[in-house]
Amino acid sequence: MIFYFSGTGNSLYAARHLAKATQDRLISIPEEMSDPAFSKEYALSTDERIGFVFPIHSWGPPEIVLRFIRRIRFANYQNHYCFFVATCGDDMGCTQQILKQALSGIHINLHAGFSLIMPNTYIALPGFDVDSPEVQKRKLEDAVPELERMESDVCRKTNTFRLHPGGMPRLKSYLILPLFRKFLINDKYFQTTDQCIACGKCAQICPTNNIRIENKRPVWQGHCTACLACYHVCPQRAVYFFAKKNKGQYLHPDLLKYGKEHH
């Protein structure tokens, strides 16, 4: 089974292709976590894989992914092959170590891990923006053969790690990431301008159903994951974080094509 979390569609794209190649079950983490008291045991078949696919949030796994792992158990587990794929704009810090520690808490061994370079999506802080259209196109094209290589490794259950930790990974993952989680995973910073037309696209795309349209404006409900999908989907560019900035927008082409029924 492959568990996935995706905001702007990069990880959904990777998860769907992996599930097709491996014939493994595809399970949405936010859908499973919709119950605040969520706790579940999953039954494994003899040869089944355990996979996790998610985007990098400030050089680490999204907090929702770690919460999910802490609340699950696997029946019939006998060192089943476990892997992860992390989509990232550039690098991933110490994600492998963080995920390995989380999985060890539920007595799961990690056998393989991969980082998949995809278009940048983080725009909330100064110095961060989406890639240019040319860079987006190149990254999406380069991702195809790399994803096929990952699929081959996962299908053969190879023990391998192909990762892009980047420079100063411990500083990023063990200093910056905790600060990010403490101060920036907070939807109180989201606002809208008078350009909002109450189209509801931000509510529709939110993977955790954290947005409601009230009095013709989006209202965030307090369980944000900082995926920024609401910002990127807004056709009027009316959603902003902290302050209005002249930043770009990005959604994976498959998400634009298929919509939230495939999210």
Concatenate the DSSP letters of all residues of 44-88 into one string: --TT--EEEEEE-SSSS--HHHHHHHHTEEEET-SS--EEEEEEE
The reported pLDDT for the residue numbered 262 is 44
The reported pLDDT for the residue numbered 263 is 53
CATH number 3.30.70.20 is the correct assignment for the domain at 186-257: yes
**Domain extent listing, the chain:** 2-182, 186-257
Residue 175 corresponds to which amino acid? L
The reported pLDDT for the residue numbered 259 is 56
**What number of other Cβ atoms are within 10 A of residue 168's Cβ?**
13
Task: Tell me if 224 sits within 8 A of 208, measured CB to CB.
Answer: yes
Residue 226 makes CB contacts below 8 A (sequence gap 6+) with 57, 62, 124, 180, 184, 185, 186
Question: Which residues, listed in sequence order, are joined to residue 239 by a DSSP beta bridge?
Answer: 192
Number of residues that this document lists for the chain? 263
Whether the CA torsion 116, 122, 126, 128 is positive or negative: it is: positive
The reported pLDDT for the residue numbered 255 is 87
The reported pLDDT for the residue numbered 258 is 62
Which pTM was predicted? 0.96
Q: Which stretches in the chain have pLDDT values below 70?
A: 258-263
Q: What are phi and psi for residue 258, nearest 5 degrees?
A: -100, -25
- Helices assigned H by DSSP within 71-160: 95-104, 133-156
Q: How would DSSP label each residue in 223-249?
A: ------HHHHH-TT--EEESS------
Digit-coded pLDDT (tens) for 171-186: 999 999 999 999 999 9
What fold characterizes domain 2-182? Rossmann fold (3.40.50)
